[in-house]
Chains A and B, each alone.
Chain A
């Protein structure tokens, strides 16, 4: 993981200010979507080796939820957006 995360609200901040939640690529299914959809949502993960989108909370900063797109192999960060930005909310 890179040492700095460029928060869209606070600028580049040390990684220690942030808390990771997990995979941002999964979408909560409708309540009646069926067992298979809920099983996939709760348990199955893409777990990519390479580009990966994750939810991070800027706990010691603006307290916004962010989507951090980064590389799980090189630790490089490609993009950080607010989780409420269009197209980012899973």
Chain B
């Protein structure tokens, strides 16, 4: 069924009894052309674009939990394409363009809200660095505006401009950045893929990968063996666990990242704002809750929960930026498992096995990349050739010295 104002009206007249589940719950077939391991945002987007753009519809997405149970439902919903480096910038801008047309494309309300992302700067050196970043963005055709202190004060009068240690001097703003309803992204892609014939199989954990003559022939799962022509990994924080099944060692560590939401407040913060002196980012959801987060906890973890020390640190950074936050009560905090790569950038590539593909290493920037990641990965799987915007995300870039180290901190995954 196509969703529209008319369908809402018609179903209202019929007592809302005509709505169908947004996707089926099929019994797995014996064989698929493509199996995608991981029904998160990236796996579902890949299936969607495989079916829609590349005509590959005999596809299964295997998800060990339920759709939306992983990082796609655990992030702070921010989208932006304010990247400096050449390998990153065109890719994230492709993602931004796909976000801009996404709701019409998959006929689902994902609440894409281009409310603007502001990165605050607190010193002359930081202003120069942001000027450079803004110029790099504009050279790539991305919008960027450098705001001075007064311009920021007019937009966000509640910030602590005269903070003794980190006074706010201005901000780099990307007006097209913003937020998206994260669950709706998973649901929209799942529904769009399902409508085109993709089987989404939930509660189906992959326990092994069967190989014959150096090629993958299928996967062992909690619902039995399923054969496949091509196998695509999109397991995010559990990438290492899946790669272990084919004896592939990855340049990845799994770390926990926490996020928080406050009680509902009246409209307060109109944009996405990030603190330049620490790591803190905040926006206000449509329900009124402040959604915010900070750095990863810093140690390897597969547990979807973190430590109180990080909670305290995030709260301190938040109050340093917006003193009024000190009286806001936090409703919930949660953790997600991040596949931190060694240079802070992702991997979309072929592997040492002919028909096995890898999509991993999203660190904690995976949500904003969902559409472009799905599109490039689908391109790679369908045509066996990388899409032009994803060419830098090679698995062998570490061995070849072609790192994409946006933050410039070297091969320390807990620093990215």
Give the B-binding residues of A (Cβ under 8 A): 1, 3, 15-16, 20, 22-23, 35, 39-40, 42-49, 52, 54, 72-75
Closest to A16 in B: B309
Closest to A14 in B: B309
**Residues in B whose Cβ lies below 8 Å from that of A42:** 342, 398, 411
* Inter-subunit contact B342/A43 (CB<8 Å): yes
* Inter-subunit contact A15/B252 (CB<8 Å): no
Subset of 19 A-B contacts with CB under 8 Å:
A1-B299, A1-B307, A15-B307, A15-B309, A16-B309, A20-B414, A22-B414, A23-B253, A43-B399, A43-B411, A44-B249, A44-B251, A45-B251, A47-B252, A47-B300, A48-B240, A49-B238, A49-B240, A73-B302
Given A15-B309, A22-B414, A49-B241, A39 and B398 touching (CB < 8 A)? yes
* Inter-subunit contact A45/B298 (CB<8 Å): no
Would you call B303 an interface residue if the criterion is a C-beta within 8 Å of the partner chain's C-beta atoms? yes
Given A43-B251, A45-B250, A45-B253, A72 and B399 touching (CB < 8 A)? no
Give the distance in Å from the alpha carbon of A48 to the alpha carbon of B302 in the complex. 9
Residues of B88-127 whose CB lies within 8 A of A: none
Give the distance in Å from the alpha carbon of A8 to the alpha carbon of B303 in the complex. 26
Taken residue by residue from 282 to 312, chain B's Cβ proximity to chain A (1 for < 8 Å, 0 otherwise) reads as 0000000000000001111111001111000
Would you call B254 an interface residue if the criterion is a C-beta within 8 Å of the partner chain's C-beta atoms? yes
* Inter-subunit contact A54/B300 (CB<8 Å): yes
* Inter-subunit contact B412/A45 (CB<8 Å): no
Choose one: B240, B254, B301, B342; the contact of A1 (CB below 8 Å).
B301
**Residues in B whose Cβ lies below 8 Å from that of A45:** 240, 249-253, 413
**Residues in A whose Cβ lies below 8 Å from that of B399:** 35, 39, 43
Choose one: B251, B301, B398; the contact of A72 (CB below 8 Å).
B301
**Residues in A whose Cβ lies below 8 Å from that of B240:** 45-49
Q: How large is the interface on B (under 10, 10 to 19, 20 to 34, 35 or more residues)?
A: 20 to 34
* Inter-subunit contact B297/A1 (CB<8 Å): yes
- Other 14 A-B pairs with CB < 8 A, given A40-B249, A73-B302: A1-B297, A1-B306, A3-B307, A15-B309, A22-B253, A23-B253, A45-B249, A47-B252, A47-B300, A49-B241, A72-B301, A74-B303, A75-B301, A75-B303
* Inter-subunit contact B254/A72 (CB<8 Å): yes
Given A39-B398, A72-B301, A72-B302, A47 and B253 touching (CB < 8 A)? yes
Closest to A46 in B: B249
Give the distance in Å from the alpha carbon of A72 to the alpha carbon of B338 in the complex. 13
B234 CB, nearest partner CB in chain A, Å:
17
Give the distance in Å from the alpha carbon of A40 to the alpha carbon of B252 in the complex. 12
Q: Which 6 A-B pairs have the closest CB atoms?
A: A47-B240, A43-B251, A43-B398, A20-B299, A44-B249, A49-B302
